[in-house]
Structure 1
Amino acid sequence: MLFTEPVKADKDPHQWLPPDTTAHCRYISEWVSTKLRWTLTVDTLEQTTLRDLADRCPAARVSYELA
């Protein structure tokens, strides 16, 4: 199957968030957890977006184990 449109997996939280806004905190927590687990980098725009979103999620916690 040939995809002509970019898929969600190709986008960071600056470019895509779940349509359900109540899922944003969990989504960014899992995103950050994955980045930390696999020691993946973030660019400046992604980092700014994650910090802005995290400010709206004071109860969110990130847990991870290094892979």
Structure 2
Amino acid sequence: HRDHVEGYSAMVSLAPNVEVWGHEEARVLGLIGHVVFKNVDFTNTWKNNPDSSIEWRLGSISLVVTHS
């Protein structure tokens, strides 16, 4: 969530190869000026319909992400 991005820049500088995934609909430029919202440069994006889920896997890690 955009209100949880404090420290994002520091994280990326410490781990520059980290993948940052975001939903296409999370690119809401009008909110960037708000005090709790900061820009997040996604390395990868996904797009799925509202009220649907997608699964992401890497090795033995599996995450299910729901677009609500």
TM-score, normalized by length of structure 2? 0.26
Larger fraction in strand: 2
Larger fraction in helix: 1
TM-score, normalized by length of structure 1? 0.26
